[in-house]
Amino acid sequence: MAVLKVSGLHKRFGGIKAVDDVSLELEDNTVLGIIGPNGAGKTTLFNLLTGFLRADSGSVVFEGKEILKKPVHQLVEMGLARSFQLVKPFFGMTALETLMLPSWAPRMRQRKLSHEDIQKEARALLSRIGLGAKADALVDQLSQGELRLLDIGRALATHPRVLFLDEPFSGLSHEETRTLSDLIRNLKAGGLSIVIIEHRLRELMALAERVVVINFGTKLAEGLPADIVRNERVIEAYLGKRAHDVATVVH
């Protein structure tokens, strides 16, 4: 069953068609990858789906409800959360405080947890994303990779139904990459649906069950990872010589 259904999505910036008639579906409890060249429209698509941009036309249905014109805070309340390609942390706060901050959202306050329980939950999440030892560190002192993991943790702290990750592996070390890959597998096993934009294709293809390829704002191809890495149009437009290397890790 599709938890998210996107139909005929359009977005123009002046004379540029950033997203041009894109349709896709995210099945429940699935990892969907979105790939394509720089400037293909992937992040614009993410911004449309998560309320940071208004589409010119189209439809986005989440769990049976049209959400295309809803503001960001309402989408978070409904269960959509995202990380960002460019991480912008709250400087002056600790890592622990950063993950406790979402507890102030109305959706989270309904749980009526004590301060101690909220803190305990945040510490557990820090451990899951590999930052358990950094709980009391100021975000100002974290590396770029650690900030990226913290940003993903902040999104997870809202207890989403669908998680959007924009280039989550960018800047991560080998150890951080392994931690994040394991986390994504565990989240999926726990019932979370995940959409990932990523240029590090070996990492993405090892996780995604389906892949959508965007080029010049349009959907170039969609299918199983094994089919995508052998698609001649995708190889010509994006994969190039990487296709053989990426093919070694697909399902």
Q: What is the CATH number of the domain that holds 86?
A: 3.40.50.300
- Residue type (1 letter), 211: V
At 65, is the pLDDT very low, low, confident or very high (cuts 50, 70, 90)? very high
104 within domain boundaries: no
What residue has token string 């930052």?
A: 131
137 within domain boundaries: no
Domain membership of residue 53 as a residue range: 2-93+159-247
Domain tally, the chain: 1
Q: Residue range 8-20: average pLDDT? A: 95
Per the prediction, the chain carries an average pLDDT of: 91
Question: Is residue 209 a contact partner of residue 7, using CB atoms and an 8 Å limit?
Answer: no
Give Cβ neighbours of residue 74 (< 8 Å, ≥ 6 apart): 51
110 within domain boundaries: no
184 within domain boundaries: yes
pLDDT of residue 89: 86
152 within domain boundaries: no
Q: Residue range 201-227: average pLDDT? A: 94
51 within domain boundaries: yes
pTM: 0.92
pLDDT digits (tens, 9 = 90+) for 173-188: 999 999 999 999 999 9
193 within domain boundaries: yes
pLDDT of residue 251: 57
Question: Is residue 105 a contact partner of residue 76, using CB atoms and an 8 Å limit?
Answer: yes
